[in-house]
Amino acid sequence: MKKPLRYILLLFVVLTIEKGFSQVSPYRDSVVQLYGVVMTADSLQGIPSCSVIVEGKGRGTITSYDGVFSIVVLKGERITFSSIGFKNRSIQIPYNLTENQYSVIQLLISDTAYLPATILKPRPTREQFERDFVNNKVTDDLYETARKNLDETQRRVLIANLPSDGREAVNFQLRQQANKAYYSGQLPPMNILNPAAWADFIQAWKRGDFKKKK
């Protein structure tokens, strides 16, 4: 194929792609850099961690500690500002913007929620509290549940199946690391010759720790 003909075909392909892109995306030049600050309407203080969401697009950002934000949007999109304790506000990016930047100062109004009043009254005297506590009726189901929870066998099962909390897990890890560092470069001793380990094993055997649990 001669070079002039090749250039003509390449130019035709480029013009076709550009024409198709202009038909699919008529707003290809509508990208806008939206930036600004979100503040309280009464004291003009910046609102940190305020959500700035593009409605229906699943895109957004949050404001900084001073309430400043910046996000890329399109002309005509609606932006919602929301924060806990404030009423939501929405704005729409104008279609007739001549520039690709748009700044806003968004003020949010405090949203007050009123809860029903709750009055807490203590017992007038200690004697009345003791009388009401003793005379309080407990159903048989709750009493039976409490009795089972106080059973020693049941408590052992609960303790054996109870996962370690954060402090216990960290302490166990620290003990493991200390033991590994202590015997670094040498073989650790075998517990089969350790009298203390045998004593712990015998006590566990007597308690029934090795019995098959149903």
Confidence (pLDDT) at 107: 93
Distance CA 46, CA 83 (A): 12
User: What pLDDT, on a 0 to 100 scale, did the predictor assign at position 80?
Assistant: 94
DSSP state of 75: T
Judged against a pLDDT cut of 70, whether residue 105 lies above it is answered with yes
Tokens of 92: 């729409």
Domains and CATH numbers, the chain: 31-108 (2.60.40.1120)
Q: Is the pLDDT of residue 131 over 50?
A: yes
pLDDT over 70 at 30, yes or no: yes
Burial label, 61 (beta-carbon count in 10 A; 0-12, 13-18, 19+)? middle
- Taking a C-beta distance cutoff of 8 angstroms, is the pair 36, 103 a contact? yes
CA distance 59 to 53: 6
Question: Of the candidates 48, 100, 51, which has an alpha carbon nearest to the alpha carbon of residue 74?
Answer: 100
Percent of all residues in the chain with a pLDDT value above 70, rounded to a whole number: 80
